[in-house]
Chain A
Amino acid sequence: MSAPLDLPRWADTVLVPALSVVAAFLVAGLVVLGIGENPLSATRYLLQGSLGTGEGLGFTLFYMTDFIFVGLAVAVAYHAGLFNIGGEGQATLAGLGVALVVNNLTFLPGFLLIPLGILGAAAFGAAWAAVPGYLQAKRGSHIVITTIMFNWLASVLIVYLLVNVLREPQSMNPETRAFPDQARIPFVHEVLGAIGIEIPASQLNLTLVLALAASYFVWLLIYRSRLGYAIRVVGSNPSAAVYAGISPARITIIAMLLSGALAGGLAVNELMGYQHRLLLEFTSGYGFVGIAVALMGRAHPVGIILASLLFGILYQGGAELAFEQPAITRDMVVVIGGIIILFAGALDGLFRRAVAHLFARQKLARA
């Protein structure tokens, strides 16, 4: 008998993560103080740069779109008891899928080409995740190891393809030619401008809507559908799954397919929504941020949206901060992000335990 770690839902989903963020900012503030800068003004730049201007907000939401997709990808696998660290590689391959579809079907109109591009991303992401999934399910090769290896494979594969196969002959850059115009997902400022609402230009595009729709879909899948039920049984109690006649191997592969497809959303946002071509390293390590996002969001879509917003603020505000206070370099911003990941992910149990203890005591006092 150990002290029960039971929390009211609001404390579990709001209070504990909020405490983690506050603690992380306090520690990050100490770090800023340590290099002789003012943490308060740093915080101001961070918030001002990410939320204070229309343009900044646009960029924040653009990053948030990326993080929602990779966060959902990690979460779906997590519910099946799998730790998918391969979001980076799956998104890279999804980018290849997008490029192959839209640059080869240029004769199609936009309302066909855009959905096909998105499907291409999902299919390639899923396929890249399917191999580690299969190896885990059938051969017991640990998914953490294989997905990491597949990140490297994806990274060298894309370099090879962009340098030797897909590059335009007259270009020196390792990138494909620009996507056809009708394959570009419209920017939000363009769409709103068309109906007379003027907002500052930014990279933010309609993929955000897709990300929110995907969040709803994942919620429905995981918490309401028969398949999601089976996924959670496998993740929570594999021997009960065997008893129930649910095949853990089959669910492992399905969960990885879904996970890889969701990671493909990153490619949709970055390539179809902004870059309009396939280029090297467009994933920028966001696949790994997805792990922190999913952890912090407790693998629940609502939590993931909130955590994605936080990381969006951090990325956009951090860039502004590095610009305004040169002593705080890009690397320092990464350190601050790392501290948040540390508190939200690894040290999450610390606050959970303390809060649970507090609640138990209060209950006892009332009884």
Chain B
Amino acid sequence: MGLTARDVMDTRFHTLKPEDTVADAVRAIQEASRETGQTVFGMMVTDAGGNLLGMLSIYDIFLLLRPKHIHIWGEMEDLEVSGVLEAACRRAKGMLVGDIMTTQVVTITPETHLLLIIDIMIKRHIRRLPVLEHGKIVGMVYFSRVFNHLRDLLSA
């Protein structure tokens, strides 16, 4: 049984461009989810040369949807606001991936040990880690794939 990122990483990863809109990103996320058969919650963002620039997660999109002054609206229980979610989505759709992506991305190499990967995931609250070899993206390690890899060891 393999012990490093190479053994659990998914080599069929998808990427976004910084100039993609949120609507483009959501379509790509849907497409990737269909292809891989599991829900994708985040994607890498790369430049034209394929270099990793950042990550976009669904959490980043949620941040966009939340109204800036939610702590004032939240107090106004008597305010009727049907359609507000649609309006928030309309506004978010046109935002650019490059303006909201996370750039402080923790990366690993194919040789990173599984226990070290688990440690990073726990400490940094990260569920997906890009795998770089000599600066080039070679795969992604997901929380679920690490667990699936260890499942037999943990249950047998």
Query: Are A and B bound to each other?
Result: no
> Chain B: residues with CB nearer than 8 A to chain A?
none
